[in-house]
Amino acid sequence: MSVSLDIFLRKPDKVYHEGESVTGTIVVITPSDFKHDGINLTMEGTVNLQLSSKNVGIIEAFYNSVKPIQLINAYCEVSTAGRIPAGRTEIPFELPLKPSINRSLYETYHGVFINISYSFRCNVKRSFLSKDLQKSQQFFVQYLPQVSKALHPVTFSMSPASVIAKGGRVPDFFIRGHLDSTNCSVLRPFTGHIILERCEMAVRSIELQLVRVETCGCAEGYAKDSTEIQNIQIGDGDVPHNIAIPIYMIFPRLFTCPTLITPSFKIEFEINIVVIFENDYLVTENFPIILTRELQNIDIK
């Protein structure tokens, strides 16, 4: 058996806030004792930006990938050269979560062109005969719950007059709807309702599309891209008329974060309500939303 190296964090959900200290243990399990030239632990946080090939040329996208922005980079020597005895060795550690100078911490986010991620890396140096042991462990950063913003309810209606036709004959319809707020907390579901008041043609599906809008600033200006995060069906088939059909969507973790606007990049979100008719005629209504992290109310209902 070989030596195994692992990093365990104290919190099971691995979510930390700025200013908190991250605690955990480095665990080494080895069948026989061995010598090492030192163990060190690095805490890293980076923003990776990538240019979409749509906005700049393919070659440019390849070469011109924007330099990652380092948000945090802490290094710590856990142990100087020495021996690790056979069996299980646990080395506890504790590091404060603080951004590098002139930087601030952003929430963990995984997108298409922008990735914000945080990780620990542990390195056990060994003599040149044997390879160094390495292990990395991701963790997540979240903002502390902010003061809740005022709700911003929106009422909307859709009719052939209000939309631009896309394919097929335009059926006669009138749809009303209501969104509880466009200021949403990522912790709480996106809610509202939609009512089909009149509809000449049967509806095939009513869907809720969550879209991210990522903007990367670079030397030549900026690139803005909208991509779909998820698409949730709320109405299936010829839905009944004149009854409020709930709009309900839980924001997926990791793929959403509070709306983030920085000088070099922006992460924003939008919601599309899509109504597809039997003849593939499709109407959409777009709502930009502002995501926040409000209230430590984990109740996902």
Partner 1 sequence: MGSNTTEWKTLIITKPKKHCTKSAVDDHPLRTHTNIEYMPRKILGSQPSTGSSTPASITPSVFLQPLSDALEGLDPLTQFAIQETDPLSQIASEMKYDTFKEEVSMSRNQRKHKVIIDIEPWSSRKNAILSKFTTSEKLTIISSFLSDGEGVVLKTQNTAVDKVQHRLEQLDYFDEGSQRKLDLSQAEYVGRIEQLNQELVSTWNSEQRVKALKIAIQCAKVLADSDVLRFYPSKFVLITDILDIFGHLVYERLRTKADYYKPGSKIPTTLPEDFTPDIVPESAKETCRNWFYKIASIRELVPRLYVEMAILKSYSFLTSSEYSAALLRLTHMIRGIGNPLVAIYARCYLCRVGLTVTTTEKDKDYLKENFYDFLDTYNQVFGRYALEGLKIQKMSLETYLTLYTPALDFILQAVASGAPESLLVELLDRCRNHRNNYLLLNTIMSAFKPIYIATRAVQLLELISENNDQDFPLYLLIRTLGVSVCACPPPKEHRRQVVNVAWHSISELTNPEHYITCVEVWIEFVVQHFTFREVNIIIGDIVSHLSPNRAYEQYYNKLKCIVMNIISHMQDFEALLAMDNFLPLIDLFQQEAVKIEVCKLILNACNTIQHTNDPVITNALLFLCTILHDSINALTVEDERRQISELLCNVVKRVDYGRDFEQQLNFYAEARAAFSNLDTVLAQLVQCVNTLAVNVQKIVKGHHTRKTGSFVRACAAYCFITIPSIVSVYTRLELYLLSGRVALFNSCLGQADACFKTALKILPELVMDENQKQAETFLLSYVRNFLSVLLTVPDSPDSGVLNCTRILLNTLQSTKWNSGSMIVATLYLNVLDMLSTMAQETYPYHVTKVESNDTLYGSDPKFISEIDKMCTIILRELLSQLKQIGSGRKQAELSLDLMVKIVTLGDLNKNGLITLAINLWQLSLKHGYVDPKYMIRTKEYLNAKGNNDVLLQVLQRLSI
Q: Where do contacts with partner 1 occur on this chain (CB under 8 A)? A: 11-13, 202-203, 206, 230-240, 243-246, 248-250, 252-253, 298-301
H helices of 35-194, where? Answer: 58-63
22: Cβ contacts below 8 Å, ≥ 6 apart: 9, 10, 16, 43, 94, 95, 96, 97, 120, 139
Closest contact distance (angstroms) between CB of 99 and partner 1 is 26
Torsion from C-alpha of 291, 156, 243, 192, nearest 10 degrees: 10
Closest contact distance (angstroms) between CB of 239 and partner 1 is 4
Closest contact distance (angstroms) between CB of 205 and partner 1 is 8
- Looking at the Cβ atoms of 56 and 273, the one nearer to partner 1 is 273
Closest contact distance (angstroms) between CB of 204 and partner 1 is 8
- Looking at the Cβ atoms of 85 and 246, the one nearer to partner 1 is 246
Closest contact distance (angstroms) between CB of 108 and partner 1 is 15
Phi, psi (degrees; rounded to nearest 5) at 182: -95, -5
- Looking at the Cβ atoms of 37 and 236, the one nearer to partner 1 is 236
Do the Cβ atoms of 232 and 207 come closer than 8 Å?
Answer: yes
Look up residue 188 and give its DSSP letter. Answer: S
CA gap 197, 176 in Å, rounded: 7
- Looking at the Cβ atoms of 213 and 250, the one nearer to partner 1 is 250
Closest contact distance (angstroms) between CB of 93 and partner 1 is 20
Look up residue 142 and give its DSSP letter. Answer: -
Torsion from C-alpha of 157, 160, 164, 165, nearest 10 degrees: 140
CA gap 241, 175 in Å, rounded: 10
- Looking at the Cβ atoms of 49 and 291, the one nearer to partner 1 is 291
- Looking at the Cβ atoms of 77 and 299, the one nearer to partner 1 is 299
